[in-house]
């Protein structure tokens, strides 16, 4: 390394140190304030409990939270009858959402033959219903047939 290089380096280092001096002082002051807080309350500042643990980590046998759509079937629980649905069964073999769909389909006379009561888990093929105008039309047609 040349002497010019070294000189340049030391100059830059000195300049940087001078520039960050106020920042370092501020940090030190903050540390001191935190320390005083700790002394006042008799314990170091602790962070909160944070995000709750994932449900999978909870001991088995604990019921899944009601209404939590993100909760997937927990161990030992029967799965929803609809193929591909990972929620636990709530009524007649269906999860809450698919039981509502079952009821609606039954009421409007559009219940497919495989949507039976107390169906075995993962045995019922889900159906996609038409929406909007097409949905209204399908509903009217079903009503006409009934």
119 lies in the site for Zn ion, by CB under 5 A: no
Collapse the DSSP code of 15 into the 3-class scheme (helix H, G, I; strand E, B; otherwise coil) and give the result: helix
Stretch that binds Zn ion, among 22-30, 34-42, 75-83, 134-142 (CB under 5 A): 75-83
Least distance to Zn ion from the beta carbon of 130, Å?
20
Q: Give the CB-side neighbour count of residue 41, counting CA atoms within 13 A.
A: 9
Least distance to Zn ion from the beta carbon of 140, Å?
27
Q: Which of residues 76-115 bind Zn ion (CB under 5 A)?
A: 80, 82, 85, 87, 95, 98
Helices (DSSP H) in the chain: which residue ranges?
A: 3-41, 96-107, 132-145
Dist CA 118 CA 137 (whole Å): 30
Interface positions with Zn ion (CB under 5 A): 80, 82, 85, 87, 95, 98
């Amino acid at each position: 390394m040349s002497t010019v290089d070294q000189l340049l380096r030391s100059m830059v280092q000195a300049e940087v140190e001078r520039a960050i001096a106020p920042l370092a002082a501020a940090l030190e002051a903050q540390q001191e304030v935190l320390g005083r807080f700790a002394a006042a309350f008799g314990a170091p500042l602790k962070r909160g409990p944070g995000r709750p643990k994932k449900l999978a980590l909870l001991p088995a046998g604990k019921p899944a939270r009601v209404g939590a759509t993100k909760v997937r079937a927990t161990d030992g629980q029967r799965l929803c009858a609809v193929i591909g649905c990972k929620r636990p069964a709530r009524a007649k073999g269906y999860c809450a959402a698919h039981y509502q769909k079952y009821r609606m389909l039954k009421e409007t006379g559009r219940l497919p033959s495989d949507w039976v009561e107390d169906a075995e888990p993962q045995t019922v093929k889900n159906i996609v219903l038409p929406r909007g105008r097409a949905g209204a039309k399908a509903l009217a047609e079903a009503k006409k047939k009934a």
